Amino acid sequence: DIQMTQSPSSLSASVGDRVTITCRASQSISSYLNWYQQKPGKAPKLLIYAASSLQSGVPSRFSGSGSGTDFTLTISSLQPEDFATYYCQQSYSTLVFTFGPGTKVDIK
């Protein structure tokens, strides 16, 4: 299986901060990488697909980049509603999809 790691596991930030979350795959996954946001008690919500494509309706302050094994999710100016846990997910291996362990973003 392709293993996904994320760093940091948690971070504290202030409204208006630029936030960067990193996701790394155990082997090259090209650009087959998605990002989700999950708030407490809610289902995950798709933010970014194919490493850098913004899902319809998602604010433009969210962006994704990377290819191969290293990927980044950036929030350009953190808003109060962005405090949540973020997960990356690989779809390169179409037989087994795997998620990263998550990065929790909370208020500083």
Q: Where are the beta strands (DSSP E) in 8-108?
A: 10-13, 19-25, 33-38, 45-49, 53-54, 62-67, 70-75, 85-90, 98-99, 103-107
Q: Which stretch binds another protein (CB under 8 A): 17-25, 63-71, 73-81, 97-105?
A: 97-105
Q: Interface with another protein includes 89 (CB under 8 A)?
A: yes
Q: Interface with another protein includes 81 (CB under 8 A)?
A: no
Residue (16 or 43) nearer to another protein, CB: 43
User: Amino acid identity of 70?
Assistant: D
Which residues would be at the binding site for another protein (CB under 8 A)?
A: 1, 32, 34, 36, 42-46, 49-50, 55, 87, 89-102
